[in-house]
């Protein structure tokens, strides 16, 4: 007998639609559970401060390709992307736990190489590896990392705190990780066509580094603290600038206006995008995996950051127009769309 129940494909919801649906059924029962699903990390009341908890799953063939991703770099990146989520709450990471599912094609030496990268990241971000789990996998490598940090209750930053006329800031430069991925994919295809060919990566070292070994911007968090600045809202740029801006729009209930000529892109990234036939601005808006910070500040804090070399003012929160868009160099308004990675798209 045919099942008459409608089947909804995951691709129809998308990753964020699925998260929203799960969130609707979640009920927080414990008083200590201050913030659950819906931000970069959860908040747990720990008395004088909040514990901050975030987790990420990295899957071979989806998040990384071991044909060009060194295991040491992968270990480092697995930690860095979780530290980035802790940073996005204006918090400081303290511990991580790592779980691995491994197939029998991995050697002990290979796993030692992976953990060498983990230990390097732990040293860089001053976090302790305090546990985890291991399991067999029928194929491929699966990595789950949970990061735990803490933040003073009066300094925690969520996605929802932006106010009208707040200035939108982005750290570093954007689009490099995506362009680096295109370089690696091209060199992989060249190698598959002719195994005697050696990869030509010297010219693209910066972009490839942005993809293989991203940096969580804890330096910015410490600098903001030293300057006495608490952002009004914040999120890390993992799924692409446009996607993250739309999150801030959704959580604040405000409009967003950013400017093309204010978007930060490295010259090498720009030139390589053009070489690959890509629109550099599209790479900035939708490339993802930059793990920079996107945050808003009150106008009174502008002078404190005005001369900061690595913080860029790209637009403002608009209380008069609830739409989110980009003003091009020719003064054309282009609505922002989340066109980054969709895990469930066919």
What size, in residues, is the chain? 346
Facing residues of 287 across strands?
Answer: none
Contact 132, 100 (CB under 8 A): yes
72, 80 Cβ separation under 8 angstroms: no
pLDDT score for 23:
54
C-alpha R_g of the chain: 21
Q: Does domain 167-335 have CATH number 3.10.28.10?
A: no
Round to whole Å and give the CA distance between 328 and 282. 12
Q: Write down the pLDDT at residue 338.
A: 83
- The rounded distance, in Å, linking the Cα atoms of 198 and 234 is 42
CB 54 within 8 A of CB 146: yes
Residue 344: predicted pLDDT: 41
Using the Cα atoms of residue 183, residue 189, residue 193 and residue 196 in order, give the sign of their dihedral.
positive
Domain segments of the chain: what residues? 39-152, 167-335
> Mind giving me the DSSP string for 94-145?
EEEEEEEEE-TT--HHHHHHHHHHHHHHHHHHT-EEEEEEEEE-SSS-EEEE
pLDDT, residue 272, reads 97
| Residues 155 and 234: beta-carbon distance below 8 Å | no
Condensed to tens digits (0 to 9), the pLDDT of residues 216-245 reads 999 999 999 999 999 999 999 999 999 999
Q: Is 106 exposed, middle or buried (0-12, 13-18, 19+ CB in 10 A)?
A: middle
Half-sphere exposure of 34 (CA within 13 A, CB side): 16
Same-fold call for 39-152 versus 167-335: no
> What parts of the chain have a pLDDT lower than 50?
1, 341-344, 346
pTM value > 0.75: yes
Characterize the bridge pairing of strands 167-171 and 255-259.
unpaired
pLDDT of residue 139: 84
Q: 39-152: what fold?
A: 60s Ribosomal Protein L30; Chain: A; (3.30.1330)
């Amino acid at each position: 007998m045919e099942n008459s129940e409608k089947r909804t494909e995951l691709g129809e919801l998308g990753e964020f639609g699925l998260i929203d649906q799960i969130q609707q059924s979640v009920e927080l029962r414990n008083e200590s559970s201050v913030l659950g699903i819906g931000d970069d990390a959860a908040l747990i009341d720990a008395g004088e401060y909040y514990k901050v908890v975030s987790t990420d799953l990295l899957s071979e063939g989806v998040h990384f390709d071991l044909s060009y991703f060194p295991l040491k770099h992968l270990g480092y990146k697995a930690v860095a992307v979780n530290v980035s989520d802790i940073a996005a709450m204006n918090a400081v990471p303290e511990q991580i736990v790592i779980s691995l599912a491994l197939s029998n094609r991995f050697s002990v030496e290979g796993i030692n190489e992976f953990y060498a990268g983990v230990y390097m990241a732990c040293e860089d971000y001053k976090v302790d590896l305090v546990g985890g789990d291991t399991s067999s996998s029928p194929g491929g490598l699966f990595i789950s990392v949970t990061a735990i940090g803490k933040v003073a209750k009066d300094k925690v930053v969520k996605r929802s705190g932006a106010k009208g006329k707040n200035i939108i800031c982005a750290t570093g430069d954007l689009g490099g990780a995506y362009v680096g991925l295109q370089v690696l994919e091209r060199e992989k295809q060249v190698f598959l066509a002719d195994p005697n060919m050696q990869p030509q990566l010297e010219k693209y070292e910066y972009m490839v580094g942005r993809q293989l070994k991203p940096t969580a911007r804890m330096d910015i968090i410490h600098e903001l603290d030293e300057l006495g600045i608490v952002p009004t809202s914040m999120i890390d740029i993992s799924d692409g600038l446009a996607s993250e801006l739309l999150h801030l729009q959704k959580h604040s209930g405000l409009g967003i206006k950013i400017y093309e000529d204010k978007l930060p892109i490295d010259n090498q990234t720009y030139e390589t995008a053009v070489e690959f036939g890509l629109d550099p601005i599209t790479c900035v808006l939708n490339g993802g995996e930059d793990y920079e910070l996107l945050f808003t500040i009150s106008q009174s804090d502008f002078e404190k950051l005005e001369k900061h070399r690595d913080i860029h003012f790209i637009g403002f929160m608009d209380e008069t127009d609830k739409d989110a868009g980009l003003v091009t160099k020719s003064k054309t308004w282009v609505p922002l769309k989340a066109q980054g990675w969709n895990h469930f798209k066919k």
